[in-house]
Chain A
């Protein structure tokens, strides 16, 4: 492969802005979009603030351009600033957004979700993924009058106290007293746990496949989801699928549909509005009245602009058959990366669904080699991350993929040279 050598980026303006941020914001940039949770390793290989985004690219404060494979950690599904979505949002904004009573555009979107998502008989809207996972668990508890929730080890369902652990600050033992867990893909363990706690388990909550951090992502084994469905039915347990991350990228009818079952509750966020702020819980008829009975609402939950943006997003995803496109682009990209790595004597493992591929250089178990490779990619304009699955968007072209593989190849060369 012929590679044009690139000049590593520098980030003076980002650093200056971060100094300002640290004075007025705890940790400067708290959470997953900051240097600590974002695992910026080494810290000086990464910019801290963006200034502009378009399509599959964003630019940092110093003007460096990135091909972005994190897509804002998921929301960017059609391309930043998609003209069709933005136009729909502008039209709605010219009419109204946050008003005393809602717009019927909310009903339009709910109808579209019920038509599109196979297991959905209704939709309830909120703002963040965590709003919907919390709502799902409350619904399951209210419907079953039971306390316990079964998780899959390595889970992430947001940051509400019930999703955290005993060793996390600010979380009480009481918050997590009813949490149980089983390993991924382990029907035997789930069966044993449900037997042991017969009549006590309100819900089983899981992502459609194991897209955890720091580990190769794992797809469901054949028969796994059918088995989970059967066990939940046998034990009267509400099956919650957390599709916040994978939703709209694997199957527009829902990731439960993709893997051949119907969940009782399905949590959506991220890609639902191409960056316009929205989340939705969809569910089966049998849970409609329970959800209606809960006290659960928020100041911005019925804002109209995101509903309009979401309708445009989902309509566009259907027109493009985006899941098929992501599968094909993701496969092309990851096989190109794996091949480029092997050209330098390195073993790159790509796992999970191609639309949300996870990467790991398997040549050392500390991931230090992998972290160096990711850092060399980032400072040359390809935004990968060392610890999290990636995301594709529909603005990505085959030309972008070729350029990505060129830069990745250069980075592999640097890492292989020691």
Chain B
């Protein structure tokens, strides 16, 4: 079983988000980067499947050299090897093309990634890769089991319910909780990660479909109006007559 897990390198969930003075780029100053939290569900599930059935887990990141600490972290958590496509991830279509190219070259049985990245919140790459490769994309999945060497059973969320899907390998799935319980690397993992292979490849095709031209921040709230707890019912009246949301 060959599993590919795609990870993105994103600002830590507690980061303050700022932009450069011209509002054209994200300001990385002082920002700590982590593996995209959704991708961690994909990574740990891949490692669990490998532990149960044998095989390999490869992590793939489309990103510049500053992603490498988090790629090493994924290796420390238990992936076997890694590939970095050496390019700034310009847009979803660009990233999808890179993943599809790597997948074509190495023919994986299962391709996993998170449901979305917490920086650009696109939720596009998995379905685009599925379309580029002509294989099923099960999005967003919260349960994944292999029934045998050629079939997987997944549960995916739909608005208001869930679907149970059985697909033939190869397929793509995007992960969300509770697919797995993310792990933290142990000392042994950190030691062995240093010598695991991390291959850097150059991107193929540079096609993008969208251009990020400007960033801004949402308007600040006008401040909070406090209501006396003894008189809590007053809140309901304010919501109807002042805020007009009831």
A and B physically associate: no
Using a CB–CB cutoff of 8 Å, the interface residues on chain A facing chain B are: none
Using a CB–CB distance below 8 Å, which chain B residues touch chain A? none
